[in-house]
Structures are given as C-alpha cells and as structure tokens.
Copies of this chain bind each other. A is one copy, B any other.
Amino acid sequence: MPTYTAPVKDMQFILHDVLNVAQSDIPGYDELDRDTTQAILDEAAKLSENVLAPLNKVGDEQGCKLENGVVTTPEGFKDAYDQMCEGGWIGLDCDPEYGGQGMPYLVNSAVGEMFVSANMAFNMYQGLSHGAISAIQTHGSPEQKAKYLPNMIEGKWSGTMNLTEPHCGTDLGLIRTKAEPQDDGSYKITGSKIWISAGEHDLTDNIIHLVLAKAPGGGEGTKGISLFIVPKFMVNEDGSLGDRNAVSCGGLEHKMGIHGNATCVMNYDGATGYLIGEMHKGMRAMFTMMNEARLGVGLQGYAQGAVAYQNALGFARERLQGREVKGVQNPDGPADPIIVHPDVRRNLLMQKSFTEGARAFTFWGAKMIDEAHRKSDADADAMISLLTPVIKGFLTDKGFETTVLAQQTLGGSGFTKEWGLEQFVRDARITMIYEGTNGIQSLDLVGRKLAMNGGKTIMAFFDMVKTYIKENEGNEALKANFLDPLKKASKDLQAAGMYFMQNGMKNPHNALSGSYDFMHLFGHVCLGLMWSKMAQASYAALENGTSDPEFYQTKIETGRFYMARQLPATALHLSRIETGADTVMTLEAANF
C-alpha cells in the first residue's frame, strides 16, 4: 500500500525562503512566521498521514453506494470527516465572523495540498463545501450568511455546486433547469443536474446546494441564468432542520477514479430555492469564484503527482535489479537498487522537478489571491486571473503525466492495485477535465485573458520576468544555470504572443489552433521563473552558511534539471504555434 509523508520542509522553504511571507505587506501575513506555519503544517501533516492516507485505498475499493436515495460513503470516511471538523480545518481561511479561522488562502492551499495528496476523493467533500461557502460569503445576503455559513464552516453542513446538465457542460447557455417565482419570494427549482460531486452523502446533517437555473425574463443563453440556494433539508427560523426538500440523488456515476467521492445525478422536482446574488447574474457569481476553484484543481493535479513521486522514489531505492553500468554499487546485495540507473534517475527527476516547481507556482498564485482579496490589489487580481488557466491546465496535464511516470518507475508492480500507484493515475485524470477541461482553459487564456486590460496584464508579466532577470544577472551561477534559460523561454513566450497579435486578428483560428501549446509554453516559463527564484534563495542560504547545505544544494540541482531538460519544451510549443491554423483547419469534419 502506498504511504504519504507531508513535505513540510519543502513547504516551509517556499513560504519563507522564497515568498518571504512574514515580510509581505498583506493583511494577516505578519502572523505567518516560521514557527506558526510550522505548527499548522505539522498538525495538518499528522491528520493527512495518519487518518486520510490510510483511507485512500479503502475509498477506491469500496466506493459510494446508493440505496433508496441514501448515499453511503466508504468505511472510515465519517470518522475522518469528524476529525477534520474538530480540527477546524474546514473553515481554516473562512470569515471569523461566522466561525472561520481567518487564515490566508495561501495557508489553506498548503494544507490543502497535504489533504489532496493523502486522499483526493475524501478531500473533495470539504473542497466542494469550501466553494459553496465562498459563494455565499461573496454573494449572499446578511440573512443568508447568518443562516448557512456557521454550520457550513463548522462542517456540520456541506455544500455543492450544480452546473452541468446532460446536454451541456461547457456551454452553460443551454441549461434547462428552471426557477419559477413563488409568492413568498422563493422559487420552485425543476430540472436535472449531473456530475455533482458530493451531491448526496452521509457525512453531514444537511447539504446546501447551489444551483444554476433559468428564471423568467433573463433572455437567451447565459444571460438568463441565476444562482439559487437549495437546501436538502429546509432550515427553520430557529436554525433547526425542517422538512426534506424536493431534491434527490437519482444515481451515482461510475467513474475511472475518485471512487470515494459520490458523483451524483441530482433531480430537482419543484424544490424550494432562494435566489443568491443578483437575478440573471448567476454566471457572474460563478466566475468570481473561478480563480480559487481552478487554482484548487491545479493543486490537485500536482498533489497527486507529488504523492506518486514519493512512492516511486521509495520503490527505486529498495528494488534491486541490475548493476550500475560503471560499477557495482551494492556489493553485498544480489543487485543494485534501480535508482542507480540513469534512465530511472531521469524519470524520477522529471517527477521531482515538476512537482516542486508546481508547488512554488501554486503558492505564489495563492499569495496573489490573498493580495487581491485582502489588499484589494487590482494588479494582483489581474495577474492571477491571467495565470489561473495556466495553473489549472498546465499543472493538471503535467501532474497526471507525473503519476504515469511514477507508475512506470515500479514496472509491473505499478500496474497492480496492490501498490496503489495506478489509483493516483486514475484519480489525477479527472483534474484535466473538471472545472473546465484543459482545452477550455487554453481558450480562456488565449481568447480572453491575453487581451484583458488591453493586453496590459500580459505585458506586466513579461516586464516582471525581464526585471527579475536584469536585477539578478550579477549572480553568475544563477545567470548561467537559470536566468539564461529563463530568458530564452520567456522570449519564446513573447514570440508566441506576438504571433497571435499579428495573425490572430485577421484569422482567430491562427490563435485558437495554438492555444493549448501556448498554455504549456506559459506554464514552463512560470516554472522556470519559480526554479530561478528557488535557486536564488538556495544560493543565498548556502552563502549565508546554512546548517543544512544538502537541502539547498539539492534544490539547485533539481532546478538545473528542470531548466536543462524540461524548459526547452518552449521552443517546440512555439514552433507548433507558428504553424497557425494551416494544418488544423483544412480537413472537412467528414474526412477525419
């Protein structure tokens, strides 16, 4: 069975050596000194390692069961969920006015990585609640907040997001679920929603569904959509639970992975719902939560890669097979551990250099979300909006790829259920699909985000990289190993942007045929930037006579691998982009 050890030291390195959180001018960050984050991360690590990780395989094997409308989660999930509530983890970054702990989103992300690595399917129950809490916090009336948030933040109630219908996923303008106004100001919600994560389960006393539906008078397409609160059990004035609402689980989806999470068909049969936010502005309400939700999925992608890598590494150190080509390394054993073989090392370093870079990228993104929310920093808000599709798309593609590489390290054992690597592959796979497929992310990036603010945000990104390189070129080791490759990669990104400018106006197909490659190109540049910053912090620590030189030297070596072996992919992506629509749009659909 796979094991999990939370990467507390690596996280502390990013928080303090790289992002210097305690010195950041963001409200709440001054409390984030090394000792405080160490204490929080240590506690989250215990829960992840001892409670959640052992349930990961149980959840996969047992899955969820639906009988007479009641969904039963796998054995042990209820116990683990209660422990999560008791520890206050669900409301970690929620509003203290409603019982939350008020921590920065960044801290929530670090803790979240551990929970996801330990048990992604389990963590989705509280993850979906978190999204619903954010929606009510941002768009709810004072009465709605008072009514729902305390119990949700405590974990007694959970939440869901209901968007997809059988005939529409990406294209929400097509939804048919309707909301009919009632005399008492409520609405009757009627329709069917699919792929609703945690739509029904036995972990909480109540479930607060947020449902997109069409109320009269909004017009065609997405413009007619509003957002409604539909509780599973009605909530009385005194806060006690009343009658069962007319919402029920009509079936569970049979899926490739995340078996421990109940993916439900939800039927609304004239269920009582309450408008949240402005009428016919439901899509806008959804979009305001999108950056967080998508960053959360990007995090899931690399977090699955991270735990898969740990287990691949453990195997590679133990498994004896063959001899090192330049000489026996383990003379007392029948063979050498396979980590001596160059190709096994290459494979492991692909995994390691990606996951550590991805962690830094995600934490940096989470910090920007805090800047945007806690400081109302419009530049940070714009930058994280630009980077969100990159975090979601690139980190989930590469995160999945990492689980596959890790599985490969185990050879035949990787294909067996016993070793558990194949579960990471199956669970990670969904991250490339939900919260907007990665194709949609690339469309958002190239079709919307590049042009945002008249192109000022993307220019700000280029300037930031340029300035960073210029300011640090005096460091010779950093320049040769990190800044020079970063400069090259960043130029590829600029050239791709320029290609879109010059060719996308006259023919949008020239831009959209290259959107996916652009997303990956952008991702590589971001990870190159992160590795440069991690290396810079490591060179500094070494110069300052750190007591742990091996840790920092390892960071530099891992970063060098990324810059030498992964970053050069930018040229390939650029070359594809520059072929434009030519070979993509020629064939008739009938001739494929």
Q: Given A509-B325, A554-B587, verify A592-B313 contact (CB < 8 Å).
A: yes
Tell me how many chains of this kind the complex includes: 2
Q: Given A254-B417, A415-B256, verify A561-B581 contact (CB < 8 Å).
A: no
Instruction: Decide if A281 is an interface residue (CB 8 Å cutoff).
Output: no
Instruction: Decide if A103 is an interface residue (CB 8 Å cutoff).
Output: no
CB distance from A551 to the nearest CB of B (A): 8
A352–B408 CB distance below 8 A:
no
Contacts of A253 in B (CB 8 A): 416
Pick out which of these stretches binds chain B: A137-145, A239-247, A339-347, A537-545.
A339-347
Contacts of A254 in B (CB 8 A): 416-418
A512 to B, closest residue via Cβ: B342
Q: Interface of A with B (CB < 8 Å)? A: 164, 167-171, 174, 194-195, 253-257, 313, 316-317, 320-322, 325-326, 334-335, 337, 339-349, 352, 400, 404, 407-408, 411-412, 414-418, 422, 425-426, 429-430, 432-434, 437-439, 442-443, 447, 507-509, 512-513, 515-516, 550, 553-554, 557-558, 560-561, 564-565, 568-569, 571-572, 575-576, 579, 581-587, 589, 591-592
CB distance from A69 to the nearest CB of B (A): 21
B557–A583 CB distance below 8 A:
yes
In the bound complex, CA of A585 to CA of B550 (Å) = 16
A432–B416 CB distance below 8 A:
no
From B256, B565, B568, B576, A426 is in contact (CB under 8 Å) with: B256
For this complex, 18 residue pairs linking A to B, each with C-beta atoms less than 8 Å apart, are: A257-B415, A313-B592, A326-B509, A339-B589, A341-B439, A343-B443, A343-B515, A344-B439, A345-B584, A349-B583, A349-B584, A408-B432, A408-B433, A425-B429, A426-B426, A553-B591, A560-B583, A569-B572
Q: Given A408-B437, A508-B326, A557-B587, verify A516-B343 contact (CB < 8 Å).
A: yes
A411–B426 CB distance below 8 A:
no
A568–B576 CB distance below 8 A:
yes
8 closest Cβ contacts across the A-B interface? A256-B422, A342-B512, A561-B583, A254-B417, A171-B321, A342-B513, A564-B579, A343-B439
Contacts of A317 in B (CB 8 A): 589, 592
Contacts of A345 in B (CB 8 A): 513, 584-585, 587
A447 to B, closest residue via Cβ: B325
CB distance from A287 to the nearest CB of B (A): 17
B429–A415 CB distance below 8 A:
yes
CB distance from A448 to the nearest CB of B (A): 12
A591 to B, closest residue via Cβ: B554
